[in-house]
Amino acid sequence: MEKSNILVTGGAGFIGSHLVDALIEKGHTVRILDSIVEQVHGNKVPEHLNSKAEFIRADVCDSGAVAKALDGIDVVYHEAAEVGVGQSMYEIVRYVRANDLGTAVLLEEMIKQPKQFKKLVVASSMSIYGEGAYVCGGCSETVNPFLRSNEQLAAHEWNFKCEKCGGELKSTGTTEEKPLFPTSVYAVTKQDQEQFCLSVGRAYNIPTVAFRYFNVYGTRQALSNPYTGVCAIFSSRLLNDQPPTIFEDGEQSRDFVHVSDIVQANLLALEKDGGDGQMMNIGTGRPTSVKQIAQLLAKGLGKEIEPEIVGKYREGDIRHCVADISKAKALLGYEPKVSLESGLAELLNWVKNQDADDRVESATAELAAHSLVK
């Protein structure tokens, strides 16, 4: 395979750093642009930063630094983003700046470069769908519901009912055709990032792929950042001998995908052109409930700690969303390889040797102060 000069924005982060390792392993030359966000890294360059990559510590909104970072580059992976969904609802300027403006700066600097880029891959998110797709158990209609109403949630009626026949709606695979209902500022910025990249890519003949990542887990996910995903939050709680706090009833489900499968998709996008100009889901196609995650993690850590189901709920939370991955399979030959059991075992092996500052309670209090946890 042809070797490339590759820029990974956010290459110090959870997904970016795993991607950097894989690209270097394949013999590519890699440059990282990352500002080392304090909330994620605690203001120190992480140990996992690959020493074979060139590292530029700068903000993706800094056009001068971005221009320098793009010099001689022919492939760009855009992974830099602020990632706290709840936090995006009150630190709106910060999220719009990093995610929207950052992508705008990157694209504007890319089109100024004399060289034609071979590929642009952008990290989008399942959050842009809002609720996943459902099918009615009674009348078999396919339904794409909006969020559950406040009245429904206040009454702790967590599941959706069919508006036509009153039957219970069952979660089914969400395809890329599902209408988008982003329900947080974070999600809106992810939709923007995806569409900015695809539209600019199309106009300037930059083969561009947008991946809608589902719920990614794995080593290096910032355990002390209370705004990241549930696997990291629960691991951090358990490691500190605290019970994970479960919102709703714990039966809500997600598609948990191991970070190495995310990396696999990113490598396929580089090697193949089938996904160019397209957006596609990257998940596993398998749903797992939040309660199951808490139990698997506690068991794996050998802790007899039952999760606490507190009967609260988070503003904007969806009930179920699982990926239909047929598009990525057909266009790129993507096939998830890591089972949840082996992925969580690997995560826990790593977690056991980490110091995780448990900041979940203060973050939850912050969300509650903004009426985002009820």
Binding of residue 184 to ligand UD1 (CB under 6 A): yes
Structural tokens at position 10: 């956010």
16 binds ligand UD1 (CB under 6 A): no
* Binders in 244-263 for ligand UD1, by CB under 6 A: 245-247, 252, 254
Candidate list 66, 69, 83, 133; residue touching ligand UD1; CB under 6 A: 83
The verdict on whether 227 is a catalytic residue reads: no
Residues 6+ positions from 61 with CB-CB distance below 8 Å: 97, 98, 101, 102, 105
222 binds ligand UD1 (CB under 6 A): no
The residue (of 7 and 233) whose beta carbon lies closer to ligand UD1 is 233
Residue 207 or 307: the one with the smaller Cβ distance to ligand UD1 is 307
Place of tokens 């191991």: 258
- Here the tokens at position 110 are 């890319």
Count of C-beta atoms within a 10 Å radius of residue 21? 18
Q: For ligand UD1, which residue of 97, 161, 272, 314 counts as binding (CB under 6 A)?
A: 314
DSSP 8-state assignment for residue 44:
S
Residues 6+ apart with CB under 8 A from 150: none
Q: Is 123 in the site for ligand UD1 (CB under 6 A)?
A: no
Site for ligand UD1 in 45-64 (CB under 6 A): none
Which one of the listed residues 77, 95, 186, 334 is annotated catalytic? 186
Identify the three-state secondary structure at position 117.
coil
Q: How far apart, in Å, are the Cα atoms of 99 and each of 32, 41, 259, 261?
A: 17, 18, 21, 24
- Tell me how far the alpha carbon of residue 128 is from its chain's centroid: 11
Size of the site for ligand UD1 (CB under 6 A): 21
Query: What is the contact mask toward ligand UD1 in residues 126 to 155, using x (rule: CB under 6 A)?
Result: xx----------------------------
Are the C-beta atoms of residues 200 and 111 closer than 8 Å to each other?
yes
In the complex, which residues of this chain contact ligand UD1 (CB under 6 A)?
83, 85, 125-127, 184, 187, 215, 228-230, 233, 245-247, 252, 254, 290, 314, 317-318
Active-site residue numbers? 186
